[in-house]
Amino acid sequence: MFIHKLMCFLPLAALALPACAQQTESQAAPAQQGMVVVRDADTGELRAPTADEARALHPRTNASAAGVAAPAPKMVTGPGGRRSVQLGERGMVYSVVTRGADGKLEEQCVHGAHAADHAVQGAHQHGAATQEEHRQ
């Protein structure tokens, strides 16, 4: 009886192995960074930046200033083998509806909570909001 059950589950395990290996490879892949160079003002040659120049070229964002890194996308496996990815704030699209001066409702889709706050407050910065059509 045990051998019979083992023979049933062995092919399933063999089929799941490539998916597990692919998932661990994608999680283990380190983030790659590009090379940063500056042009020397005196000679015009490219060189590595000094520590002060490197800090000036990479301003700290709110998340890094607070010491909190943005969460990496997380793979979730649901019942029945369904897989989905939780993107966090990075993948959020907000639908903001405001009433214009003429009384008509204006809808816009914006990316991120900061852009949504600006849209609600009426600060329509050029390029901050993008018009998108979302179909279901």
Burial class (CB in 10 A: 0-12, 13-18, 19+), 111: middle
The pair of structure tokens assigned to 77 is 């496996």
| Dist CA 78 CA 110 (whole Å) | 29
For 34-78, what is each residue's pLDDT tens digit? Answer: 677 888 888 988 888 888 888 887 765 444 445 556 677 788 888
CA–CA separation, 130 and 5 (whole Å)? 56
Per-residue model confidence (pLDDT) at position 127:
38
Residues 85-130 pLDDT 10s:
887 777 788 888 888 888 888 888 888 888 888 888 874 443 344 4
Report the alpha-carbon distance of residue 105 to residue 98 in Å, rounded. Answer: 6
Higher pLDDT, 24 or 59: 59
Alpha-carbon distance of 10 to 4, in angstroms, equals 10
pLDDT at 121: 81
- Integer-rounded Cα Rg, in Å, for the chain is 25
Confidence (pLDDT) at 35: 74
Residue 46's alpha-carbon distances to 38, 50, 70, in angstroms, are 6, 12, 32
Residue 4 banded pLDDT, cuts 50, 70, 90: low
The whole-number pLDDT of residue 128 equals 41
Residue 106's pLDDT is 85
